[in-house]
């Protein structure tokens, strides 16, 4: 194919990707009550799933301080068009999240023909695992990282005379930032897989810098979580587990590469 033909094919992949996002975004726009009342504003109410489970966990462990039974802030919309533009923006974000597997598949279809047969074989299942990790990270961010951060920021006061009344856009920005940050961090195993396949990363390097990685993970967990040990551990432990899983993945990649090289030499 010529360069122009490649551009034409890329254009159609992008058109189909954008179309899928628009379909899901339209569905989200028409489901305003569920999207906002149940999904977006859920972490702003004390009856949210995560808060109820924390109360149950606190009662079981004898740690009542874990229970979150009150969210002390009020949301406001200070601009005439704010709620409409927020509705549009949130619908687009929901569309992007739901269409992610198809969008990634379209991009992968464009990239895959340019790979060698062995590279295509090695990357089999990439769309499934990238999408799975993305959704797991999104769920973790929505149900763990974002609610803990929102609760801390909403209850923090420098003086009792100051009321916490936040703009709707600020609340949604915090929620989406936390959720997407976790979704991206959960892609670590796939990133390690491709880097190991490319010979850039090895399990030995990851083991050597494990202590450094732990420090970085704890810093990240401290930044995106409320400043208490329990909340930080709830975020840090899954990330540490992902790092250990990534080391195992790098080992498997190394083992398979050595096996393949031996077969080629003996064949």
DSSP collapsed to 3 states, 96-162 = HHHCHHHHHHHHHHHHHHHCCHHHHHHCCCHHHHHHHHHHHHHHHHHHHHHHHHHHHHHHCCCCCCC
Specify whether the CB–CB gap between 188 and 243 falls below 8 A.
yes
What is the reported pLDDT for 226?
60
What is the reported pLDDT for 151?
84
Q: Count, in order, helices (H) and strands (E) of the chain.
A: 13, 2
| Residues comprising the chain, all counted | 267
Domain count across the chain? 1
What is the reported pLDDT for 225?
65
What is the reported pLDDT for 104?
93
What is the reported pLDDT for 109?
87
What is the reported pLDDT for 227?
61
Q: What is the pLDDT of residues 54-92, one digit of tens each?
A: 888 888 888 887 788 888 788 998 888 899 999 999 999
Q: What is the pLDDT of residues 157-179, one digit of tens each?
A: 788 888 888 899 989 988 998 89
**Residue 231 scores a pLDDT above 70:** no
What is the reported pLDDT for 93?
95
When pLDDT is cut at 50, 70 and 90, the band that residue 156 belongs to is confident
Query: What's this model's pTM, rounded to 2 decimal places?
Result: 0.86
**Residue 28 scores a pLDDT above 90:** yes
What is the reported pLDDT for 228?
61
**Residue of 33 and 5 predicted with greater confidence:** 33
Instruction: Name the residue range of residue 132's domain.
Output: 3-71+80-156+164-266
Range with the largest mean pLDDT of 30-44, 47-61, 188-202: 30-44
Residue 176: both structure tokens together: 């989406």
Q: Provide the percentage of residues in the chain whose pLDDT is more than 90.
A: 37
């Amino acid at each position: 194919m010529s360069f122009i033909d490649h551009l034409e094919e890329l254009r159609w992949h992008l058109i189909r990707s954008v179309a899928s996002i628009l379909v899901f975004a339209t569905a989200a726009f028409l489901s305003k009550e569920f999207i906002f009342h149940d999904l977006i504003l859920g972490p702003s109410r004390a009856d949210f799933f995560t808060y109820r489970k924390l109360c149950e966990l606190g009662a079981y462990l004898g740690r009542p301080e874990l229970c979150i039974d009150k969210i002390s802030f009020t949301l406001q919309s200070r601009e005439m068009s704010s709620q409409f533009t927020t509705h549009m923006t949130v619908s687009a974000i929901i569309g992007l999240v739901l269409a992610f597997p198809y969008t990634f598949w379209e991009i992968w279809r464009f990239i895959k023909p340019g790979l060698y047969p062995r590279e295509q074989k090695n990357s089999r299942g990439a769309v499934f695992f990238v999408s799975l990790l993305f959704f797991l990270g999104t769920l973790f961010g929505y149900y763990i990282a974002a609610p803990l951060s929102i609760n801390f920021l909403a209850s923090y006061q420098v003086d009792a005379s100051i009321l916490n009344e936040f703009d709707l856009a600020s609340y949604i920005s915090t929620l989406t930032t936390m959720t997407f940050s976790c979704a991206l961090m959960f892609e670590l195993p796939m990133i390690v897989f491709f880097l190991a396949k490319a010979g850039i990363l090895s399990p030995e390097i990851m083991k050597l810098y494990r202590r450094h990685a732990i420090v970085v993970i704890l810093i990240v967990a401290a930044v995106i979580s409320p400043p208490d040990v329990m909340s930080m551990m709830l975020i840090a432990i899954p990330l540490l587990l992902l790092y250990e899983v990534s080391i195992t993945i790098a080992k498997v990649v190394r083992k398979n590469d050595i096996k393949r090289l031996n077969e080629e030499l003996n064949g």
